């Protein structure tokens, strides 16, 4: 509705995913995904390009207001939410269980990042750095491969795998990177780098 409480016609729906580490994904039906970081207080929501006043909020509903009108949103459940949350909550336990003792045969394949978490609040997100895909090949006891960022030039991988040693995948390229393997079992690979944890799966 408008600020005058008049009903407004609409032809699409807004979906906002609030991710761990103050990152959000915004999408309107049939439109592109927009990503960024958000800042929230009990009375406001700042998405950078959009600023809302939080009129009211509850466990499953939130009412936002800006200069154009009011927006009432309902919380929705994604089918994979339980799996994702379970993986995030168990990342520390996975680390203790593996202790770097990973069966490298399980590395084989093309791994896609489906979730990431952050231990700190992020001011800016560098999509030229965040992993989108990790391709790994295993030949006897040697692991080779490459790491692709979410945004990259001409589709070229930004980092080449140097080796897997002491529980770490060591990459070289535009910078040197060490990603600790917290878990590699079945169709799930969990990697840790500095303040980030990346959750990957093999699709297709």
Single out the residue of 114, 107, 32, 127 nearest to residue 79, CA to CA. 114
Percentage of the chain surpassing pLDDT 70?
A: 80
113 and 160, same domain (yes or no): yes
Residue 165 lies in a domain: yes
Residue 43 lies in a domain: yes
Q: Residue 178: which domain range? A: 81-202
Residue 160 lies in a domain: yes
88 and 183, same domain (yes or no): yes
Q: Is the pLDDT of residue 15 over 90?
A: no
Q: Encode pLDDT of 161-198 as tens digits.
A: 999 998 999 999 988 999 999 889 888 899 999 888 88
Measured CA to CA, the distance from residue 117 to residue 66 in angstroms comes to 29
Whole-prediction pTM value? 0.54
Residue 130 lies in a domain: yes
Kindly give, in sequence order, each residue whose CB lies less than 8 Å from that of residue 13, ignoring residues fewer than 6 positions away.
28, 29
Q: Is the pLDDT of residue 95 over 80?
A: no
Buried b / exposed e along 22-60 (16+ C-beta atoms within 10 A): bbbebbeeeeeeeebbbeeeeeebebeebebeeeeeeee
Q: Is the pLDDT of residue 85 over 50?
A: no
25 and 16 Cβ atoms separated by less than 8 Å: yes
Q: What is the DSSP letter of 45?
A: E
């Amino acid at each position: 509705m408008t600020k005058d409480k008049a009903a407004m016609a609409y032809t699409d729906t807004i979906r906002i995913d609030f991710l761990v580490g103050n990152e959000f994904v915004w999408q309107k039906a049939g439109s592109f995904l927009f990503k960024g970081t958000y800042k929230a207080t009990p009375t406001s929501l700042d998405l950078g390009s959009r600023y809302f006043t939080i009129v009211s909020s509850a466990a499953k509903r939130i009412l936002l207001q800006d200069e154009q009108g009011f927006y009432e949103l309902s919380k929705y459940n994604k089918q994979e939410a339980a799996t994702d949350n379970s993986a995030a909550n168990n990342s520390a336990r996975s680390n203790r269980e593996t202790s770097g003792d990973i069966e490298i045969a399980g590395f084989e394949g093309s791994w896609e990042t489906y979730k990431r978490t952050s231990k700190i609040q992020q001011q800016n997100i560098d999509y030229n750095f965040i992993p989108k895909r990790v391709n790994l090949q295993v030949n006897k006891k040697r692991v080779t491969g490459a790491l692709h960022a979410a945004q990259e030039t001409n589709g070229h991988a930004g980092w080449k795998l140097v080796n897997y040693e002491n529980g770490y995948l060591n990459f070289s390229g535009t910078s040197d990177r060490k990603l600790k393997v917290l878990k590699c079992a079945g169709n799930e690979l969990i990697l840790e780098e500095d303040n980030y944890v990346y959750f990957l799966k093999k699709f297709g």
